[in-house]
Amino acid sequence: MLMFRWRYAGLLALLGLGCSDRDVTVRSADAPTGPLSLVTFNAAIGVGLAPYAEQRLEAIERSLPDLGADVLCLQELWQPSDLERLASNLASEFPYSHRSVSAATTFQGCSDSEAELLLACLDSNCAGVENAGLPLCAIANCASAFTQTGQPCQECIVANQAAPDVSTLIAMCSAKDGSAEAFEEQTGLLLLSRWPLSNTGYLKLESSLADRGVLRAQVQSSGGEVDLYCTHLAASLGEVPYTGAYGSWQGERVAQIEQLLPWVEQTRAPGGKAAFMGDLNCGPATSLARPASPDAFQRFDDAGFIAPYASDDGRCTFCANNPLNGFASDMDEGALIDHVLLSGFDDAASISAQRVLDGPVTLTDGGADIESAHSDHYGVNVMVSWAEPAL
């Protein structure tokens, strides 16, 4: 991206503001009974991310209801139109939703000098690169130029990433006729639920190259109230030099964890149940998965969260054998970075976990069938059940 991969990899951070519950849908519903199923899934839907975005979004939309989940924490739905599409089309199964993104209250776009800076960098470094390769070229060579532009320009670039080419995108964002859009807190997060969501909120996280934040809500389960948190933490972007305030992508991820954990303690019910979900870009070593930023992940353990899926034999969620990752490997190996973490669930709760959305899916592109996957990540489903009370 200059289109989204820009934003996600080195050009990925910028807008944002505060806290909102305005996107929560309210409907009547019966009280929940039976187990509570919590799913996290990074959809990787955005220009310049994993290929076949439109076809995969259709497949994801078809598959999510089949998971039997009560709550879904979705990440990397970078365009507000895609957030709205899923929330609307899945409303019969998940009538309650919460997100952070909103239309920018003021919009200025890029100044002439900012537009010239961006175009000059791309002309110098990415001339002749086909559209498919442009996002990575922009990430590797123009992240510095992008971060020199102001927030209104950055917001516009991100919000209009579906423009047909970079020149059109820059022209839109430097126009003074209001033809471009901009959004605040474009985190790509969407929380969907079968049951009413209450006490909603949002925490903006410090970030150098992406809007990062945490959605908060509370849901009633058959075992009582559960505080929910949904996030996507900073990724380690090897192809992009780190220019933020924390020394490295790892340092920024740790800083985000250290910012969010006190907020979780302040906002959850004292002594109550809490579930923390999302692509945390960190995880422990298991017998079937390599460690990823384990010292960052350790902070959740220190705060009293358990990781039911990350047992000794927990498998990777970002894997070499995923056809969208291009590693040309048949091995089910990689890192376990997508999590549903639990805190405050007592011994009366029975907990199980499994990897989901990890099977092949057939997509159609240009009339040809392609064996692919829902995303370059696999999802995790954690199920909690409580014994029926004695009569």
Per-residue pLDDT, 243: 76
Domain extents for the chain?
Answer: 18-103+185-386, 112-183
Instruction: Please give the model's pTM, rounded to 2 decimal places.
Output: 0.85
Query: Yes or no: is domain 18-103+185-386 CATH 3.40.640.10?
Result: no
pLDDT of residue 162: 61
The pair of three-digit structure tokens given for residue 167, joined into one six-digit string: 């020149």
List the Cα angle 360/361/363 in 5-degree steps: 140
DSSP code of 261? H
**Can you tell me which residue has the tokens 């970030």?**
207
C-alpha span between 359 and 78 (Å, rounded): 24
- Round to whole Å and give the CA distance between 273 and 298: 20
224-232, strands of its sheet edge to edge: 197-205, 212-221, 224-232, 273-279, 338-343
Per-block average pLDDT, block size 10, for the chain (391 residues)?
Answer: 34 31 46 91 84 94 97 94 95 97 75 87 77 64 79 72 71 74 84 97 89 96 96 86 87 97 97 97 94 97 96 90 78 91 93 96 93 96 83 47
Q: What is the pLDDT of residue 122?
A: 79
